Amino acid sequence: MQTPRRGELQVLQNVVIDVDDDGTIISIGHRDGPVTHDLGEHSVLLPGLIDSHLHAPQWPQLGTGLDLPLEQWLLEHTFPLEKRLTEPEFAAQVWPQMVATLLAHGTTTAVYFATIDVATTTMLASTCAELGQRAFVGRVAMDHTGGTPEWYRDADANVSIENSHLSIQEIQMLGNSLVKPVITPRFTPACSNDALIGLGQLSIETGVRLQTHCSESDWQHHYAIERFRTTDTQALAGFGLIRPNTILAHGDHLGDSDLDIVRLAGAGVAHCPLSNAYFANAVFPARRALDAGVKVGLGTDIAGGASPGLLPQCAHAVTASRYLEDGVDPGLSAHERGVSNSRIAITDAFYMATTGGAELLDLPIGLLAVGRSFDALAVQLNRPGSALQMWTEIDDGDRIFEKVVRLAAPADISNVWVNGRRVAGAA
Amino acid sequence: MQTPRRGELQVLQNVVIDVDDDGTIISIGHRDGPVTHDLGEHSVLLPGLIDSHLHAPQWPQLGTGLDLPLEQWLLEHTFPLEKRLTEPEFAAQVWPQMVATLLAHGTTTAVYFATIDVATTTMLASTCAELGQRAFVGRVAMDHTGGTPEWYRDADANVSIENSHLSIQEIQMLGNSLVKPVITPRFTPACSNDALIGLGQLSIETGVRLQTHCSESDWQHHYAIERFRTTDTQALAGFGLIRPNTILAHGDHLGDSDLDIVRLAGAGVAHCPLSNAYFANAVFPARRALDAGVKVGLGTDIAGGASPGLLPQCAHAVTASRYLEDGVDPGLSAHERGVSNSRIAITDAFYMATTGGAELLDLPIGLLAVGRSFDALAVQLNRPGSALQMWTEIDDGDRIFEKVVRLAAPADISNVWVNGRRVAGAA
């Protein structure tokens, strides 16, 4: 079950998928005869899920501290923890547990913010390579004396650029085709102008893509206007950071002209709906962005979003869009409460988590189709004790899909493959 | 870990809980020596979770049809399915699977809307008794020719009242102290005035409590004003239906005077945050209701809320309150976007799912304390592959609690007890 295009569900039944030694799908068709792995009758195969934005060194605090505003959450909890994750001993505990758990949740591709430390960032890339997760791993660049604590920042703009370059080289030297570097200025409040300019240059010189946060919250939105006299998006564009496949996390407060800039550059947004409820002060208008032709993927924003895996995030994306459409304040009349035509369907959300994410990353994943890599997960139906139950009396393809996306618990994910290799599951 | 009062976390460590043969806790203290069941070091015990509002015959459609407005969802999907669940053969499949699954998710008490059929409603009560779930089971009364389809309604007001009475008698004759009837007019649009008046009388005559939906959506809110020239709450009060421990599901559009009526009657609200995002057109202002002294429990509203179990619902309640506080439309400035002082903490949400729900139901549950029934669940920490990981480097009591509530997957719930009897789990 998959969404080749936004809002379009495709259900293939009784098919055999042939995968070559490079992990690429070479045929999909009806066939009898023996197969390497038979899902059986009570399973559904989905394309691998793409988490287009998450913070690896925040994994140990997943689920905590969500009552704090973004700035306080960063300074009192998040930066200290990220600092701890520059210790190789702690990173050696956290990275494998995190990557294995995300794989078990069906996250076949992850786009990581790592730490400011080159060594533990490379360790993360190695862990992904070893456990078989497709990943972009970014050493975080942050040198601004105003927006970062002195105990967790790059010494200056040159160090920001040099260490980013070094991290690229180290990750590329791992020689794993699934694991790639990504240039990662944290966000404008944490970066000096010199660093932002230099990192844009580094992207041009190395051909390595970029990611950063953009207009996540009221605070960040107004910070940019205060500092740059323009929107965060326009500022990033001015620094040369909005390039093909640049991933802008959140983007809740992007205006129409910002969306134009993103679209025209071939960049896109990592939409992180659950996190946004806590830290963005507003709902990202996903439908508006998709309608405008902007590439949109889905992200957990771990640990700002306190939930691993993309299936729950699909449900959160639909729920957020409903809050945006209907509004929230019962004290207002219905017509002044929300923003009409904002709702998205579960197929739109799944598209963002798969095909849309693949487009955002420009990778041949997100769809089980000839020429694409075999990244997939199998979901078991009617497991005893699971809420994911089909009733032959009432269920058909569309309903099964919606149930799978909304109800599959981690334990219902029976097998996960990345590039043809089984990376999680018991079978 | 538990919340004796709203917002107050209590952590008891290394204690032994003694339970008598009636399932009542008779002592909690520190003690050495052998115990019947030792949780070990890597588990947390929580009070049993109370689902104060859900629809049993909607279980097979859990997770589907959420793109429809409430009226269409009811008429095209929900009523036909509820009709199917008046067939004993289908009910015999659905009820045990549902009750067992809910128990495995930690739902030790459930307040059910069943079907309009007496026999399958009694079957549900029997199933709860057999599997050991504490439950209120309500035969649904609905006789209004305008608000119900002719193929799924009581023949007239007398039948509504008589069958409700019969259902009470059948459930009471089961003789199970954990399973009780509840008088259940569906909601005012589905009930004639005569039925509503008669059901209020039936409550007085039998001493059996009531439940109904109240001011869930704009549509229902305005329907009441149109039909009764007053709010839904005032209308229900006029019919004699707002009585001690009456459970009003949703209540999103209750005004201050409505909340007063509810509070003064000793009734309360079953807050169903996830469902509300899809069907209520606004967020229930839980903090305002709690501050006003109204009893508030938490409900899944299965299948309007597409998620079983109350731990996810706790997170949804906090998330919904954040949407209400911050607002949703990035096109508005921050100060005109939301409703300040609306956020609730995770401890508030857990209170509603346990101690608050117990107060709503007037039952000695929801808290592990002497004199209360031993309804509880054990959550395993650091299960391989689970996102629920503690890191000794950073985690303490408060953080562990927040992680457990936000991150525990069904598979992390290792044991569940109701009234001292183990009803789910492998140990």
Contact A124/A139 with Cβ under 8 angstroms?
no
State whether B406 and A90 contact (CB < 8 Å).
no
State whether A391 and B253 contact (CB < 8 Å).
no
- Nearest beta carbon to residue B218 from set A278, A331, A334: A334
Q: What percentage of residues in chain B have a pLDDT greater than 90?
A: 90
Q: What is the structure's pLDDT at B426? A: 66
Chain centroid, CA B152 distance in Å? 24
* CATH 2.30.40.10 holds for A16-46+369-425: yes
Q: What is the structure's pLDDT at B227? A: 97
Q: What is the structure's pLDDT at B40? A: 81
Q: What is the structure's pLDDT at B72? A: 84
Using the predicted structure, report yes or no on whether residue B68 has a pLDDT greater than 90.
Answer: no
Q: State the pLDDT confidence band at A69, using cuts at 50, 70 and 90.
A: confident
pLDDT tens-digit map of A107-162? 999 999 999 999 999 999 999 999 999 999 999 999 999 989 999 999 999 999 99
State whether A328 and B324 contact (CB < 8 Å).
yes
Question: Which position has the higher pLDDT, A216 or A72?
Answer: A216
If you measure CA to CA, which chain B residue comes closest to A84?
A: B393
pLDDT mean across residues, chain A:
95
Interface ipTM > 0.85: yes
Q: What is the structure's pLDDT at B331? A: 95
Residues of B in contact with A386 (CB under 8 A): 101, 410
User: Considering the domain B49-361 in this protein, what is its CATH number?
Assistant: 3.20.20.140
Using the predicted structure, report yes or no on whether residue A364 has a pLDDT greater than 60.
Answer: yes
Separation of alpha carbons A250 and A248, rounded Å:
6
Single pTM value for the model: 0.97
Q: What's the rounded mean pLDDT across residues B141-169?
A: 97
Comparing A16-46+369-425 with A49-361, is the CATH topology the same?
A: no
Separation of alpha carbons A157 and A129, rounded Å:
30
Domain extents in chain B: 16-45+378-425, 49-361
- Which residues of B, range 19-78, sit inside 8 Å of A by Cβ? 60-67
Using the predicted structure, report yes or no on whether residue A427 has a pLDDT greater than 60.
Answer: no
A257: CB partners within 8 A, 6+ apart: A231, A234
Distance from CA of A236 to the nearest CA of B (A): 20
Q: What is the structure's pLDDT at A395? A: 77
Distance from CA of A281 to the nearest CA of B (A): 5
Q: Tell me the sheet residues that pair with B134.
A: B109
Separation of alpha carbons A248 and A233, rounded Å:
9
Q: What's the rounded mean pLDDT across residues A217-223?
A: 94
pLDDT tens-digit map of B300-336? 999 999 999 999 999 999 999 999 999 999 999 999 9
Q: What is the structure's pLDDT at A39? A: 87
If you measure CA to CA, which chain B residue comes closest to A282?
A: B328
Residues of B in contact with A60 (CB under 8 A): 389, 391, 393-395
Between the alpha carbon of residue B290 and those of residues B221, B248, B264, B285, B351, the distances in Å are 21, 14, 14, 9, 11
pLDDT tens-digit map of A284-340? 999 999 999 999 999 999 999 999 999 999 999 999 999 999 999 999 999 999 999
Mutate to test the interface with B, among A328, A343, A393, A406 (most CBs of B within 10 A): A328
Separation of alpha carbons A25 and A18, rounded Å:
6
State whether A319 and B104 contact (CB < 8 Å).
no
Q: State the pLDDT confidence band at A35, using cuts at 50, 70 and 90.
A: confident
